[in-house]
């Protein structure tokens, strides 16, 4: 019944296995990839004909994590997987970005890729396994795909690169000071196609070394997929790339002059209007047959690319007049919104971000329900890209893959410089509203986010800036790396290479390639130019922070205290009775972690102090020899019981009340009276012994007996 093909290799510490022929046999390509006990099924289907008039490549990639893969039941009311999680969305983008450029030019048939996590061993992250499974499924499907690609995750510990670190080592990386890098890389046998990373101020040399290491380590995977395909691949789909050279010649003749004039305009809006007019003029000059040709759009885009790219490579001049290394003019302002906790307006050329920081308490932390368990995050960054930012009319809905991906890139860049939760016990939410866009709004979010948090009084370890690099690589081998690319340079260029970091090093790197990869030499130059650009931007940002930033009066005040873990139960009380009383009496919010750290939050400092004292009275132990203020709660024949330390009582024996003989304590005391007592110690049964006669009841000072010295005669 089954015609199964299986291939395996030892990859790092685990066995990597590819299998096809048993499940999803009606898909064009179906592969189950297994690494350790993590399994991902990838299925590929494609249409045999393009839709009439289709002038773009409709590739759709879905990555799905099934909770049963880790033996979990989904949270929520409906108890089933619903909208994609952030991890699923980001992994879908990870898979899409390296495979999209490898489909044969001109192929416009619809392609659907689905990667489903079937089993997760909580050691091997399924995102890498999914990328490998998809690569294998595409390679055997017969679709015109110029792969395969390999993928790998790279860590950096103690100066050494690590292949595919365990999932726990990569979760909340900033809590693990030994692990300085989480880098995902994908590429072909000859070149790198995609890089995504989160780092802790690595140097350019260390980052380049990580990329080279990852590319080397994925080579056995590529060899495995090729050997696997030799035994299981279907016949290649009969596809001949369209030849629209004649149409391109007509388009060039009809509109090259007008297109060059349009690209010579410096202002983006005017240039866009002129390019649209040139496109319309070209279409008007075409015959009805040419207008109906699905290759007309690609032919016009080819002309646009030739005009933009040619001047850059030949003359080093870009469409806005800059050379290849100059960053656009920068203006940054902080504290522009009166009631927010922190705000900044960052403008670089025609790209602008209004970035706002809000500080919250432990109740505001995000609870993340992941395959490898639930955990909490006290830092969030949300990115919004409304249509008006590019002067367009569009539909506004929930955040799409682009918004989620750009927000996560900025999050990765900034999280490396955040203070430890023990030093700054706030939940931090940063929102980037992109108000203008012409290239690299995600890097504007990084710069604005850094300024906004500093304006809110967040003690960042260092400011962070980001810059987007581009690449023009011509067929004759000539190339140019561009600093701070425009939208058109991103759209018509060959690379989008975003680098963010501090003056000391890189905190995040993302690279997307639209051609069949780049060489280490190109990447080395891009990193060097990015460093120069980053240092320049940091200098411009510093001009808006001329003095120490004050903590917002509207932000909640939080103090922390740490108690022994065996005292947590006492502070919470049965059914939460004690902590509810503390909150009600003090008026402050109280959060207790499993490690014994308590956060007390309120806008009223008196409420924080009251809650602190109530908690301290529960967990602290009285000190021998120390004087306390207490209240007489009961009188008995042999002494007085005094409540002196929280809910703790002690006995003042009748002989310790006064420096004279008393027949009964009521001769000197009455119930409810406030007294000063000294802790004398504990008896054999652990009960507290107190004394009064050695304490001045007015001042609370201990009475020191002076011994008279006899004179020697």
- Percentage above 70 pLDDT, the chain: 97
Query: Which segment, 90-99, 519-528, 543-552, is predicted with the most confidence on average?
Result: 90-99
Judged against a pLDDT cut of 80, whether residue 87 lies above it is answered with yes
Q: Compute the average pLDDT of residues 274-291.
A: 90
**What is d(CA 208, CA 187) in angstroms, rounded to the nearest whole number?**
15
Q: Compute the average pLDDT of residues 125-152.
A: 96
Q: Which residues contact 707 (CB under 8 A, 6 or more apart)?
A: none
DSSP type of residue 574: G
Judged against a pLDDT cut of 50, whether residue 503 lies above it is answered with yes
| In a domain? residue 710 | no
Q: What is the CATH number of the domain that holds 154?
A: 3.30.230.70
| In a domain? residue 116 | yes
Q: How confident is the model at residue 709 (pLDDT cuts 50, 70, 90)?
A: very low
Judged against a pLDDT cut of 90, whether residue 224 lies above it is answered with yes
Range with the poorest average pLDDT among 101-115, 189-203, 438-452, 634-648:
634-648
| One domain for residues 631 and 612 | no
pLDDT at 120: 95
| One domain for residues 69 and 180 | yes
Judged against a pLDDT cut of 90, whether residue 620 lies above it is answered with no
Q: Compute the average pLDDT of residues 311-329.
A: 85
- Percentage above 90 pLDDT, the chain: 58
| One domain for residues 301 and 375 | no
| One domain for residues 683 and 581 | no
| In a domain? residue 320 | no
Judged against a pLDDT cut of 70, whether residue 590 lies above it is answered with yes
pLDDT at 214: 96
Judged against a pLDDT cut of 50, whether residue 520 lies above it is answered with yes
Q: Collapse the DSSP code of 612 into the 3-class scheme (helix H, G, I; strand E, B; otherwise coil) and give the result.
A: helix
Q: What is the CATH number of the domain that holds 578?
A: 3.30.1370.10
Task: Provide the β-strand partners of residue 180.
Answer: none
| In a domain? residue 322 | no
Judged against a pLDDT cut of 50, whether residue 713 lies above it is answered with no
| One domain for residues 532 and 589 | no
Q: Collapse the DSSP code of 445 into the 3-class scheme (helix H, G, I; strand E, B; otherwise coil) and give the result.
A: helix
Range of the domain at 593: 557-619
**What is d(CA 219, CA 199) in angstroms, rounded to the nearest whole number?**
24
DSSP type of residue 395: -
Q: How far is CA 598 from the centre of its chain?
A: 25
pLDDT at 712: 45
Q: Which among 113, 201, 121, 160 is positioned nearest to 460, based on CA atoms?
A: 201
| One domain for residues 170 and 287 | no
| One domain for residues 206 and 59 | yes
Query: Which segment, 39-48, 355-364, 539-548, 596-605, is predicted with the most confidence on average?
Result: 39-48
pLDDT at 435: 96
| One domain for residues 74 and 35 | yes
| One domain for residues 393 and 511 | yes
Judged against a pLDDT cut of 90, whether residue 374 lies above it is answered with no
Q: Which residues contact 517 (CB under 8 A, 6 or more apart)?
A: 187, 188, 190, 191, 192, 193
Q: What is the CATH number of the domain that holds 287?
A: 1.10.10.400
Q: Which of 189, 211, 232 is the last residue of a domain?
A: 232
pLDDT at 352: 96
| In a domain? residue 548 | no
Q: What is the CATH number of the domain that holds 682?
A: 2.40.50.140
Task: Quote the mean pLDDT of the chain.
Answer: 90
What is the total count of domains within the chain? 5
Q: Which among 57, 13, 305, 42 is positioned nearest to 148, based on CA atoms?
A: 42
Judged against a pLDDT cut of 60, whether residue 657 lies above it is answered with yes
Q: pLDDT digits over 141-183, tens only? A: 999 999 899 999 999 998 899 999 988 877 666 556 678 899 9
Tell me the helix, strand and coil percentages in the chain, rounded to 5: 35, 30, 35
**What is d(CA 648, CA 72) in angstroms, rounded to the nearest whole number?**
46
Q: Compute the average pLDDT of residues 124-153.
A: 96
- The larger pLDDT score, comparing residue 391 to residue 315, is at 391
Judged against a pLDDT cut of 50, whether residue 349 lies above it is answered with yes
pLDDT at 155: 94
**What is d(CA 164, CA 171) in angstroms, rounded to the nearest whole number?**
13
Q: Collapse the DSSP code of 23 into the 3-class scheme (helix H, G, I; strand E, B; otherwise coil) and give the result.
A: coil
| One domain for residues 396 and 371 | yes
- The larger pLDDT score, comparing residue 432 to residue 604, is at 432
| In a domain? residue 708 | no
Q: Compute the average pLDDT of residues 84-91.
A: 94
Q: How confident is the model at residue 711 (pLDDT cuts 50, 70, 90)?
A: very low
Tokens for 120, please give them. Answer: 């997760």
pLDDT at 170: 73
Q: pLDDT digits over 239-250, tens only? A: 988 888 899 999
| In a domain? residue 460 | yes
pLDDT at 114: 98
Q: Are strands 597-602 and 557-562 parallel, antiparallel or unpaired?
A: antiparallel
Q: Tally the residues of the chain.
A: 713
- For 555, other C-beta atoms within 10 Å of its C-beta total 19
| One domain for residues 609 and 633 | no
Q: Which of 181, 205, 232 is the last residue of a domain?
A: 232
Q: pLDDT digits over 568-587, tens only? A: 998 999 888 999 999 999 99
Say if residues 589 and 600 touch (Cβ distance below 8 Å).
Answer: yes
Q: pLDDT digits over 387-398, tens only? A: 999 888 888 888
Q: How confident is the model at residue 708 (pLDDT cuts 50, 70, 90)?
A: very low
Q: Compute the average pLDDT of residues 408-413.
A: 96
Q: pLDDT digits over 37-72, tens only? A: 999 999 999 999 999 888 889 999 999 999 999 999
| One domain for residues 489 and 359 | yes
Which CA distances in Å does 352 have to 75, 115, 155, 218, 434?
38, 36, 34, 39, 6
Q: pLDDT digits over 291-303, tens only? A: 888 889 889 988 9
Range with the poorest average pLDDT among 99-103, 132-136, 706-710:
706-710
pLDDT at 173: 60
Q: 3-state SS string over 31-44?
A: EEEEECCEEEEEEE
Q: Which of 232, 254, 278 is the last residue of a domain?
A: 232
pLDDT at 292: 85
> What's the pTM?
0.84
pLDDT at 548: 56
| In a domain? residue 239 | no
């Amino acid at each position: 019944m089954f015609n199964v093909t299986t291939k395996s290799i030892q990859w790092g510490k685990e066995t990597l296995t590819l299998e096809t022929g048993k499940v999803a046999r009606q898909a064009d390509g179906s592969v189950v990839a297994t690494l350790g006990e993590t399994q991902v099924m990838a299925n590929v289907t494609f249409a045999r004909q393009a839709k009439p008039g289709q002038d773009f490549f409709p590739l759709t990639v879905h990555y799905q994590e099934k909770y049963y893969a880790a033996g979990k039941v989904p949270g929520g009311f409906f108890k089933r997987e619903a909208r994609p999680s952030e991890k699923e969305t980001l992994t879908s983008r990870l898979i899409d970005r390296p495979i999209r450029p490898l489909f044969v030019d001109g192929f416009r048939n619809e392609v659907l890729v689905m990667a489903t996590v079937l089993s997760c061993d909580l050691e091997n992250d399924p995102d890498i396994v999914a990328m490998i499974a998809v690569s294998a499924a595409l390679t055997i499907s017969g679709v015109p795909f110029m792969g395969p690609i390999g993928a790998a995750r790279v860590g950096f510990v103690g100066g050494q690169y690590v292949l595919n670190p365990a999932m726990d080592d990569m979760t909340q990386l900033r809590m693990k000071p030994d692990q300085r890098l989480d880098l995902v890389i994908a590429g072909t046998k000859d070149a790198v196609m995609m890089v995504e990373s989160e780092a802790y101020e690595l140097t350019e040399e260390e980052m380049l070394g990580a990329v080279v290491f990852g590319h080397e380590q994925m080579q056995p995977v590529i060899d495995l997929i090729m050997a696997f395909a030799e035994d299981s691949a279907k016949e290649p789909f009969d596809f001949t790339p369209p030849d629209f050279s004649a149409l391109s010649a007509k388009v060039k003749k009809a509109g090259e002059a007008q297109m060059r004039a349009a690209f010579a305009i410096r202002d983006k809006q005017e240039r866009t209007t002129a390019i649209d007019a040139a496109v319309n003029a070209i279409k008007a000059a075409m015959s009805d047959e040419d207008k109906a040709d699905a290759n007309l759009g690609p032919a016009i885009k080819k002309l646009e690319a030739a005009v933009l790219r040619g001047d850059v490579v030949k003359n080093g001049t870009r469409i806005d007049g800059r050379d290849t290394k100059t960053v656009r003019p920068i203006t940054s302002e902080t504290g522009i919104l009166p009631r927010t906790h922190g705000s900044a307006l960052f403008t670089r050329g025609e790209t602008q971000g209004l970035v706002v920081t809000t500080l919250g308490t432990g109740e505001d932390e995000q609870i993340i329900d992941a395959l490898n368990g639930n955990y909490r995050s006290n830092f969030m960054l949300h990115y919004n890209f409304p249509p008006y930012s590019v002067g367009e009319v569009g539909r506004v809905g929930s955040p799409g893959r682009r918004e989620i991906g750009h927000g996560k890139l900025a999050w990765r860049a900034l999280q490396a410089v955040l203070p430890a939760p023990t030093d700054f016990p706030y939940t931090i939410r940063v929102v980037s509203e992109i108000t203008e866009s012409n290239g690299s709004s995600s890097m504007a979010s990084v710069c604005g986010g850094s300024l906004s948090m500093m304006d809110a009084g967040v003690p960042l370890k260092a400011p962070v800036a980001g810059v987007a690099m581009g690449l023009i690589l011509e067929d004759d081998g000539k190339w140019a790396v561009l600093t701070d690319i425009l939208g058109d340079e991103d759209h018509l260029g060959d690379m989008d290479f975003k680098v963010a970091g501090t003056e000391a090093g890189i905190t995040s790197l993302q690279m997307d390639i639209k051609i069949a990869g780049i060489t280490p030499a190109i990447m080395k130059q891009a990193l060097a130019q990015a460093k120069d650009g980053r240092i320049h931007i940091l200098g411009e940002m510093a001009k808006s922070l001329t003095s120490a930033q004050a903590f917002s009066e509207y932000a909640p005040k939080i103090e922390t205290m740490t108690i022994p873990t065996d005292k947590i139960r006492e502070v919470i009380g049965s059914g939460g009775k004690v902590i509810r009383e503390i909150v009600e009496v003090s008026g402050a919010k109280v959060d207790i972690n499993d490690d014994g750290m308590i956060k007390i939050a309120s806008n009223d400092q008196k409420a924080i102090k009251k809650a602190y004292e109530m908690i301290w009275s529960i967990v602290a132990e009285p000190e021998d020899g120390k004087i306390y203020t207490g209240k007489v709660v009961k009188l008995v024949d042999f002494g007085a019981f005094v409540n002196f330390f929280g809910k703790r009582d002690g006995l003042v024996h009748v002989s310790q009340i006064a420096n004279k003989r008393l027949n009964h304590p009521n001769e000197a005391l009455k119930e409810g009276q406030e007294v000063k007592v000294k802790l004398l110690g504990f008896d054999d049964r652990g009960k507290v012994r107190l004394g009064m006669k050695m304490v001045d009841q007015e001042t609370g000072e201990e009475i020191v007996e002076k011994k008279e010295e006899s004179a020697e005669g």
